[in-house]
Structure 1
Amino acid sequence: MTLFGKISTEIGVHATAEKWFKLLATQLHHVQNLADRVHGTKLHHGEDWHHNESIKQWTYVIDGKVSTCHESIESVDEANKTISFKVFGEEIEQKFKVFKVIFQAIDKENGGAIVKWTIEYERVSEEVDPPYSYIEFQHKCTADIDVHLLKA
C-alpha cells in the first residue's frame, strides 16, 4: 500500500469564484470569524498574512477535538484562482510527512462557483488513515463561509 495520496472534493457554492479567491488570497484572517470549526488563527511568523514566508497558526475542530497546525502559502495563481497551502506542525507531523491543501475557485456559467479542495499527503505509516476527516472539515467550512460571502 502506498503512503502517498491525493483526495479532492468539489463543492457547489452560491458566491462567485472571485469572492472566494479574494477572501483566501487577501483576507485569510477573516476565516476564523466565518467558519464554526475554526476557533482562531494568529500570525505566528512574519509581518504579512499573505506573504509566502509568513506562517499562521490555526486552532480548529477536527474529528470532534480541538487541534492546531501551522500553515504557509506555497503559491498563488490569480489567473486560475488557485492557492496552495503547506500545512505542518506537531499534530500534523505525527501522521503526515507531507500535507498540502490546494484551493481552487471556478466560476459556473449560470452563476455561483465550484470550490475545489485537494489534499496531497504522505502518511508516516500504513497505520495512519488518509485525511478524509479534513475533506469533511473543508465541506463544513465551505458551507459556513459561503453564507457569509452571499451577504458581502
Structure 2
Amino acid sequence: MSLAGKITTEIGVHATAAKWFNLFATQLHHVQNLTDRVHGTKLHQGEDWHHNETVKHWTYTIDGKATTCLESIESIDEQNKTITYKLFSGDIDHKYKKFKFTFQAIDKDQGGAFIKWTVEYERLAEEVDPPYGYIEYLHKCTKDIDVHLLKA
C-alpha cells in the first residue's frame, strides 16, 4: 500500500472566485477571524504574510483536537487563481513526511464559484490514516469564510 496520496474536493460557494483568491493571496491573516476552526495565526519568520519565504504558525482544530503547524506558500498562480501551501512541523511532522494544500478558486458560469482543495500527503507509516479530517476542516472553513465574503 502506498504511503503517498491526494484527496481533492470541490465546494460550491456564493462569493466570486476573485474575492476568494484575493482573501487567500493578500489577506490570509484574516482567516483566523472568519472561522472558529482556526484559533490563531502569527508570523513565525519574515515580515510579509504573502511572500514565499514567510513562515506562519497556525493553531486550528482537526478531528476535535487543537493542532499546530507551520506553513509557507510554495507557489501562486494568479491567472488560474491557485495557491499551494506547504505545511510542516508541529503536529504535521508526527504523521506526515510531506503535506501540502492547494487552493483554487474557479468561477461558475451562473455566478459564485467552486473552491477546489487538494491535499497532497505522504504518511510516515501505514498505521497513519489519510488526512480525511483535513477535508472536513476545509469544508467547514470554506462555508464559514463564504458567509463573510458575501457581506464584504
TM-score normalised per structure 2: 0.99
State the distance in 1 between where 2:58 and 2:136 align: 17
1:58 match: 58
How far off is 1:90 after superposition? Answer: 2.6
How far off is 1:45 after superposition? Answer: 0.3
1:36 aligns with 2:62: no
1:22 aligns with 2:10: no
How far off is 1:123 after superposition? Answer: 0.2
2:6 match: 6
Q: How many matched pairs?
A: 152
Letter in 1 for 2:138: Q
How far off is 1:44 after superposition? Answer: 0.4
1:112 match: 112
SS of the aligned residue for 1:139 comes to helix
1:137 match: 137
Listed as ranges, the gaps of 5+ residues in structure 2 are none
Listed as ranges, the gaps of 5+ residues in structure 1 are none
Q: Deviations over 1:37-58 (max 9, x none)?
A: 0010000000100000000000
1:90 match: 90
How far off is 1:127 after superposition? Answer: 0.3
Identity of aligned pairs, percent? Answer: 74
Select between 61-70 and 71-80 the one with higher mean Cα deviation.
Answer: 61-70
RMSD over aligned Cα atoms: 0.4
Letter in 2 for 1:118: T
State the distance in 2 between where 1:67 and 1:125 align: 20
How far off is 1:36 after superposition? Answer: 1.0
State the distance in 1 between where 2:90 and 2:84 align: 20
State the distance in 1 between where 2:36 and 2:147 align: 12
